[in-house]
Amino acid sequence: RKEVEQDPGPFNVPEGATVAFNCTYSNSASQSFFWYRQDCRKEPKLLMSVYSSGNEDGRFTAQLNRASQYISLLIRDSKLSDSATYLCVVKGGATNKLIFGTGTLLAVQP
Amino acid sequence: DAGVIQSPRHEVTEMGQEVTLRCKPISGHNSLFWYRQTMMRGLELLIYFNNNVPIDDSGMPEDRFSAKMPNASFSTLKIQPSEPRDSAVYFCASSTLATGSNEQFFGPGTRLTVL
């Protein structure tokens, strides 16, 4: 079983739609959680951290459920520029090593 | 400020040749990571360094791969001899060890093709 699992998609949605991505992780000792975004043929970049109480950044909302070892990302009012691969990322306790999911591809269409 | 710098950006080589990938981390960062990305396996951590010291190389696929960090501003990943299955995008990333700072900044990657 992979340490971080995501639905690879693709998710094809119209502009203005709301879309949600889910991710599960296997290591219950994981301490920190993130969503990274990767555009086609580019490097990954941090989108947002995920906090236990849930957090929002504009149109993006991230949630964490430690009991179920589950992370989510909600994008409201999606834009064409949101088209990218979204990577779920988990960090262990004592190490600064990040474990990346294989990513979920989002295609927002006009 | 310059981000993480990688060279070359593209490399095409023949099976059996030696390949050296280079990385300059962001100034002041004291952790450096080498990743490999393929369609099949996604982004995999190969090795990482803290303060120029290798901490975890469990992701290095085999002895053909080696990595060094002779100083805080330079690292290399070497493949010798290269094989077609090594074809992938290799990313270098850097971060600080400061408490609460977890963001890793990635370089643009080296796209390696082994024929």
What's the pLDDT band for B41 if we cut at 50, 70, 90? confident
Beta carbons of A98 and B45 less than 8 Å apart? yes
Locus of tokens 């070892």: A69
Q: How many CB atoms lie within 10 A of CB A44?
A: 26
Which residues of B, range 27-86, sit inside 8 Å of A by Cβ? 31, 33, 35, 41-43, 45, 48, 50, 55-56
Q: What is the pLDDT of residue A93?
A: 65
Residues A63 and A106: their CA atoms lie apart, in Å, by 19
Residue A12: strand pairing partners: A107
- Find which of B33, B36, B104 to mutate to test the A interface (most A CBs within 10 Å of its CB): B104
What's the pLDDT band for B101 if we cut at 50, 70, 90? low
Q: What is the pLDDT of residue B24?
A: 98
Beta carbons of A101 and B42 less than 8 Å apart? yes
- Find which of A43, A49, A51 to mutate to test the B interface (most B CBs within 10 Å of its CB): A43
Which token pair is A79? 């834009």
Answer whether residue A106 shows pLDDT above 90: yes
Cα dihedral across residues A51, A56, A62, A65: positive or negative: positive
Q: Tell me the shortest Cα–Cα distance from A39 to chain B, in angstroms.
A: 11
Residues B30 and A71: their CA atoms lie apart, in Å, by 29
Residues from chain A contacting residue B97 (CB–CB below 8 Å): 96
Residues A85 and A71: their CA atoms lie apart, in Å, by 16
pLDDT tens-digit map of A71-89: 999 999 999 999 999 999 9
Q: Tell me the shortest Cα–Cα distance from A107 to chain B, in angstroms.
A: 17
Residues B59 and B57: their CA atoms lie apart, in Å, by 5
The mean pLDDT value for B19-34 works out to 96
pLDDT tens-digit map of B44-81: 999 999 999 999 999 998 899 999 999 999 999 999 99
**Is residue B9 helix, strand or coil?**
coil
